[in-house]
Amino acid sequence: MNNGIQIRTTGGPEVLEWSELDDPAPAKGRLVVDVEAAGLNFIDTYHRGGLYPMEVPFVPGVEGAGVVTGVGPGTEGFAEGDRVAWTGAIGSYVQSRSLDASAAVKIPDGVDTRVAAAAMLQGLTAHYLSHDTFALSAGQRALVHAGAGGVGLLLTQMAKLRGAEVFTTVGSPEKAELSKAAGADHVILYREVDFAQAVETIAGERPLDVVFDGVGKSVFEASMGLLRRRGMMVTFGNASGPVEPVSPLDLMRGGSLFLTRPTLFDYVATREELGSRATALFDLIASDRLDVRIGGEYPLAEAAEAHRALESRQTTGKVLLIP
């Protein structure tokens, strides 16, 4: 029996239905994987709620890790028993799934399977943001919103490895401690103070080279006002809602600013890009230079409760769903 979560109509967490699903079979170019852990991500809530439209019914979840139990033709390089991880392949909230082999990467020795599940989407996101979208260098100043979230903790660590001075925003003293432990130089409790004023009190007027923003609407305008001339606003998430349209003239008035709305899948667009970025990520984990914090685990059948916790900002680090 293969059980999992199915969505028949978009809406709130209540639409996540525990269902009996068909057993997957090997097919051309595809693997069958027993899922050990599925990653919980905000994009799952966008799919569930309809912000990112999906054809229903569907099984949500774009990230996970597990063990290969079947290989179809055209899957050279993979064998039964391999541990693999993936992101960008919807259908992970399930006990056993069919997976396009082009989305799978082998998990190396020295990296735990659940850690790999926790690291794929958020770790690869943190890597492309800090190494490519805005390639940080020593002495540059970066603001990371949601500093105690899954991306925030990993992005802070990577920014520090590249020599940056890192500001973060968090919502509680407990989250502040997590952000500090990840290496943040300045942690701001945004519920207690105006984060923009706090940044300028520390570093002066418009001191930032880059803002990494996964929060969206509620922080976007104030964040833009903190950028130096020719600074970059990197908005990569919509946790508080999508950002309102921006006029190019606003970028001119702000000092010839750069604005980008990147997505991971354009930074792992080829098999070679995915492989090289995943290798770099796993190397950081295996060498203990990157700590992947698993902040909680929920049984897969309780996915609705996990979604509620994520959307109400009750989670820290990475949350996993365990079939």
Residues 96 and 156 in one domain: no
CA distances from 156 to 3, 136, 172, 212 (A): 37, 11, 17, 10
Residues 106 and 164 in one domain: no
* Percent of the chain with pLDDT strictly greater than 90: 95
Whether residue 294 is contained in a domain is answered as yes
DSSP string, 32-69: EEEEEEEE--HHHHHHHHTSS--PSSB---SEEEEEEE
Tell whether the torsion through CA atoms of 101, 102, 108 and 112 is positive or negative.
Answer: negative
Q: Please identify, among 230, 261, 292, the residue that sits at the C-terminal boundary of a domain.
A: 261
Residues 182 and 72 in one domain: no
Question: Residues 132-190: pLDDT tens digits?
Answer: 999 999 999 999 999 998 899 999 999 999 999 999 999 999 999 999 999 999 999 99
Residues 239 and 153 in one domain: yes
Tokens representing residue 141 in the block: 């100043």
Which pTM value belongs to this model? 0.91
Query: What is the domain count for the chain?
Result: 2
**What confidence category does residue 313 fall into, taking pLDDT thresholds of 50, 70 and 90?**
confident
Question: Residues 49-82: pLDDT tens digits?
Answer: 998 999 999 999 999 999 999 999 999 999 999 9
Whether residue 126 is contained in a domain is answered as no
Give mean pLDDT, residues 31-49: 96
Domain membership of residue 203 as a residue range: 137-261
